[in-house]
Amino acid sequence: MLKSFRIGGVHPPGNKLSKGAGIVTMPVPETVVIPLSQHIGAPATAVVAKGDTVKVGQLIGKSAGFVSSNIHSSVSGTVTSIDPVVDGSGLRKPAITIRVEGDEWVDTIDRSDTLVRECTLTPSEIIARIADAGIVGMGGATFPTQVKLSVPQGKKAEFLILNGVECEPYLTADHRVLLEHGREVAVGADILCRALGVDKAYIGIEANKQDAIDYMEKVCADHPHLEVVPLKVKYPQGGEKQLIDAVLRRQVPSGALPIDVGAVVQNVGTALAVYEAVQKNKPLIERVVTVTGKSLDKPSNLKVRIGTSIRTLIDYCGGLPEDTGKVIGGGPMMGRAMANLDGPVTKGTSGVLLMRENQSLRPEAQVCIKCAKCVSVCPMGLEPYMLSKLGKHRMFAEMEPRHVTDCIECGSCAYTCPAALPLLDYIRLGKAEVMKMIRARKG
């Protein structure tokens, strides 16, 4: 029987239009814009100046604290500016713009396809190399990986879980990574286990990716500590706490972290990046991005240099369809509408979704009929209708004891609401304000 998490969940249509599209390497763009903040935590500090020449893989931004991440050049060429640029969300953020001249890589990067299995580095050496390479969570959260691997004193990691769920509709980048780079992912899992000091790892994959399940089971025959766990298709199973519940049958308490139940979760794309960093000395300079939509000519999975404009990806896949209503960064459930298609691909860009006009219009909100569907589907066991009402009326102090900070912003409540209420909008507002209150108390 397939496993799954036990609280809430919904079943939106999969729409995996690009699942059969193999990964295609995008041509190197003429210019890249590389933000200095592509991760949770402090922005990196530029270590190059306007007019400098750089190579692929060269450090251009140094991490500015424990929770931060290095930034490397994804191209070779000349730095033309170090100024704020408008990102995909429409916000101005510090970035390094590079004019591409050739494709010269730093000498230390191993660009061969030869699989390197053996790793003799110590845990601290592995974590240092991951930090040097600027690896972050590739599932979208972009939490610096070296921080996640640095288990706090008094805590103990018992299990590693690789997240191959990709439960968000439309997105298929992780699916293709498993099919085309599964051996590297498995070695990445070995390295992560070594860094954590654990001897058991699981990889959770939903049953709508049976080909990936079958392939990874073959791969894991050479990795006896790594076990494939087929999962029932249910959203948001890719959430850390939901995946831990599904795989380990352990529930993370309110306000706690996965390490509090002995688990560390890493995305399969992150495992691939860890393999490349540790075994190939390759920093995080490119990633696989799903570009998809029902009207798009060529839904694709593209290997893209960090800093490439979103518009370049869309043009490569046939151009912007006339009936496009919104372009979403990510999937339809947790993604955000993009305000600027000239914004760059970042380390956290998992997908670009082009939604038709008739898909993207929000229905007119009606009166709550108190059906409690939002309560039944909330994977965190919250009361979305109440939290939303409190947020709407700016009663933020009353939201904290109702555990609003546990909300993972999955959108299941809004998806299932028959009154089309913007539940998540008000919950997200309240959550942000409560987080400010908490930080102020601590400060």
Q: In this predicted model, what pLDDT tens digit does every residue of 232-283 receive, in sequence order?
A: 999 999 999 999 999 999 999 999 999 999 999 999 999 999 999 999 999 9
Say if CB 408 and CB 232 are below 8 A apart: no
Radius of gyration of the chain (CA): 21
201-223: average pLDDT: 97
Q: Which of 312, 381, 376 is nearest to 341 (CA)?
A: 312
- Are residues 274 and 406 located together in one domain of the fold? no
Asked if 61 and 284 touch (Cβ cutoff 8 Å), the reply is no
Which residues, 6 or more positions from 11, have their beta carbon under 8 angstroms from its beta carbon?
233, 234, 235
323 domain-assigned:
no
Please give the C-alpha separations between residue 148 and each of 191, 195, 255, 257, in angstroms, as whole numbers.
14, 11, 17, 11
Task: Report the C-alpha gap between 319 and 17 in whole angstroms.
Answer: 17
In a domain, 398, yes or no: yes
> Domain end: 280, 301, 318, which one?
280
Confidence of residue 141 (pLDDT cuts 50, 70, 90): confident
- 148 and 256 both lie in a single domain: yes
- Domain C-terminal end among 238, 254, 280: 280
- Residue 373 tokens read as 């569907």
Q: Quick one: pLDDT band at residue 169, thresholds 50, 70, 90? A: very high
Q: What pLDDT shows up at residue 243?
A: 98
Arithmetic mean of pLDDT, 35-55? 96
Mean pLDDT of 385-401: 97
What pLDDT is recorded for position 312?
Answer: 98
Answer yes or no: do 127 and 253 share one domain.
Answer: yes
Q: Is residue 165 part of a domain?
A: yes
**Contact call for residues 412 and 423 (beta carbons, < 8 A):** no
Q: Are residues 392 and 265 in the same domain?
A: no
- Shared-domain flag, residues 259 and 138: yes
In a domain, 276, yes or no: yes
Name the phi and psi angles at 405, rounded to 5: -70, -15
CATH number of the domain that 178 lies in?
3.40.50.11540
Is there a domain that residue 403 lies in? Answer: yes
Q: Give pTM, 2 decimals.
A: 0.96
When pLDDT is averaged across residues 190-214 and rounded to a whole number, the result is 98
CB 151 within 8 A of CB 196: yes
Question: What percent of the chain is modeled with pLDDT above 90?
Answer: 97
Instruction: For residue 1, name the pLDDT band (cuts at 50, 70, 90).
Output: confident
Residue 358: inside a domain, yes or no? no
Query: How far from 65 is each of 41, 70, 147, 266, 429, CA to CA, in Å?
Result: 8, 10, 11, 22, 28
Strand, coil or helix: what is 75? coil
Q: Encode 186-219: b = buried (16+ Cβ within 10 Å), e = exposed.
A: bbbbbbbbbbbebeebbbbbbebbeebbebbeeb
- What residue type is 344 in one-letter code? P
Query: Given this model, what pLDDT does residue 210 score?
Result: 98
Domain membership of residue 261 (yes or no) is yes
pLDDT above 90 (res 443): no
Domain identity same for 129 and 267:
yes
Q: 3-class DSSP state for residue 61? A: strand
Burial class (CB in 10 A: 0-12, 13-18, 19+), 368: middle
pLDDT in tens, 97-113: 999 999 999 999 999 99
User: Per residue in 330-350, pLDDT tens?
Assistant: 999 999 999 999 999 999 999
Number of domains in the chain: 2
Domain assignment of residue 377, given as a range: 373-442
Cα–Cα distance, 326 to 305 (Å, whole number): 24
Does 288 fall in a domain? no
**Among candidate residues 262, 280, 298, the one where a domain is terminated:** 280
**CA 143, CA 139: separation in Å to the nearest integer?**
10
